[in-house]
Structure 1
Amino acid sequence: MGLDKRELMAQLAERLQHSDRLAVRAQIEAREAARSLATESEKKEDGRAAIEYGSLATGQAARARRVQEEISLLTAFREADLPRFNRRTPVALGAIVDVRTEDDTGYDERTFFLLPVGAGTELTGPGGDGFLSVITPASPVGRALMGRRAGESVDVTLAGEVHEWTVLDVA
């Protein structure tokens, strides 16, 4: 697992920045729509629409603030000394973890990158080779994997269904 963690975090930062730009743009558009509806007509219907657009703008502003906080946390984590992991090291923030699960259809292997933010984001390996899912310690998968070592098995509940995963590697 020779993946460049800093490059993967840069990829996540780029995705977060894109999400921030979208939220800011949506906020501006919603605020403008609320203003134009409120001034063009005094109809009751337009007044309700203006309130809804105003609420939408407020929600988008909150989304942008959350994303900006996530970018700050990721930047601080990237700039710190990243911990080094090996097969005997327990899973912690900064670990890339390979797991395998078995079900009725066979085996499924997945790779996770445990970071303080970005849960659910899918990153691509070098040259587009392979995919990694970002998890956080607050996510069900992150909670289950924290502190585990290669060779250990964990039960993970997803969508109300329990899955047994085996940790293959920690890097």
Structure 2
Amino acid sequence: MDKATLLARIVAALETDMDVLRRAAQTAYEAALAEENIAENKYDTLGLEASYLATGQARRTAEIRQALVIYQQLLLRDYDPVRGIQISNLVTLEDETGARRHLFLGPEAAGLKVDGGDGWVTVITPRSPLGQQLMGKKVDDEVSLGTQALFVIEVV
């Protein structure tokens, strides 16, 4: 897997998510201000609910915008066996049955899944339990996910 291509796909996914959320927030904002949604009594909360939705979507859009800026400025670093796994490393983990997972240790956007060319890659951050365990690990080290043992088999 090429990390530069993977980074471009992460940026593209974040741009798409931000655009979708921006439009959804605008729609909710317009619904909150619509004439037909003005409360007629204290139990009529449609306009209030739309404003809460618009606020939440605007916050999420700001979070994605921040992550997008961070990824646009991210310097991809090669794996250094002396330092171990760090941010911008692409890690392949294998469980005891031979099933593999591809993870990109990024600064933001945890949970984002992108097509890495030969399989899906999940973005994790050092703030996650698995991300915390991976920091500084090396090839052939073991980490655990719940009761499952995972082995670091490749780092790029």
- TM (normalized to structure 1)? 0.82
Paired residues of 1:87 and 1:170 also in contact (CA < 8 A) = no
- 1:72 aligned partner: 69
1:15 paired with 2:6, answer no
Distance in 1 (alpha carbons) for counterparts of 2:133 and 2:145: 6
User: Which runs of 5 or more residues in structure 1 are unaligned?
Assistant: none
1:85 paired with 2:79, answer yes
For residue 152 of structure 1, report the CA deviation from its aligned partner.
1.0
Distance in 1 (alpha carbons) for counterparts of 2:126 and 2:102: 15
User: Which runs of 5 or more residues in structure 2 are unaligned?
Assistant: none
Matches within 5 A, 1:36-47: 36=34, 37-39=36-38, 42-46=40-44
CA deviations 1:139-160 (Å, max 9, x no partner) are 1221111110001111223xxx
Report the AA paired with residue 149 of structure 1.
K
Q: Which runs of 4+ in 1 moved over 4 A?
A: 86-89
- TM (normalized to structure 2)? 0.90
Distance in 2 (alpha carbons) for counterparts of 1:8 and 1:23: 22
In the alignment of these two chains, the number of paired residues is: 155
1:96 paired with 2:90, answer yes
Distance in 2 (alpha carbons) for counterparts of 1:6 and 1:107: 27
1:143 paired with 2:132, answer yes
Q: Percent identity?
A: 30
Higher helix share goes to which structure? Answer: 1
Q: CA RMSD in A?
A: 1.8
